[in-house]
Amino acid sequence: MSKVALVTGGTRGIGAAISKGLKEAGYTVAANFAGNVEKAEAFKAETGIEVFKFDVGDHEAAEAGIAEIEKKLGPVEVLVNNAGITRDATLHKMTWEQWKEVVDTNLSSMFCMTRPVINGMRERGFGRIINISSINGQKGQMGQANYSAAKAGVIGFTKAIAQENARKGITVNAICPGYIDTDMVAAVPEKVLEGIIAQIPVGRLGKAEEIAAVVAFLASDAAAFMTGSVLTANGGQYIANG
């Protein structure tokens, strides 16, 4: 029986590519989504991947959603914490709601999603947790104090949880994508986008499928000796130390 992989924010953008990539790699995939039922159902019809609607930043909703997935598909052995939102504003104009929405979805979701599956992984002696951070969690970004702080927090969470669970056969790693060709990036004004691409040494945006390939590797047995790692995939735009 194939392993169950749960991908949050798994029906659109990078998440959709991850869901498809893991299915192609032989996993039984559950794709979480938060809002657009019509698009999620279209994704399910296109791919045959089961979709589940719940708020990853709400611990009770996440716990209930994971219980539903495990009842229907089996225990979650691969968790990809991908869900993320932006609510951009400079700090002196940012509202508490903009701060809280981003931190809840992008950072608190790490606890809400990982806590319900970690004991099962420890008992079975196997687990793969892959957290999607961001280039802006590494270098910061003007107008994204909320997003940058949350994505930096994902890196700290990854390193701590990796240490706690390494002896239980669980690996925990993070990926920091740069600017990827998704609907979110496509919504950026053309001149701003041109400026972004000019800062990327490889001269183009990344592809969602390129991030999905890194996820598939980290989920595989070939990556069993990798844990607590932070992988950058940004076309050379930001080169981190370690």
The residues that are catalytic are 147
Closest by CA position to 147, among listed 103, 112, 208, 92: 103
First to last CA, the chain: 37
Instruction: Report helix, strand or coil for 83.
Output: coil
Q: For the chain, how are helix, strand and coil distributed in percent, rounded to 5?
A: 50, 15, 30
Do 208 and 16 touch, CB atoms closer than 8 A? yes
8 Å CB contact between 4 and 26: no
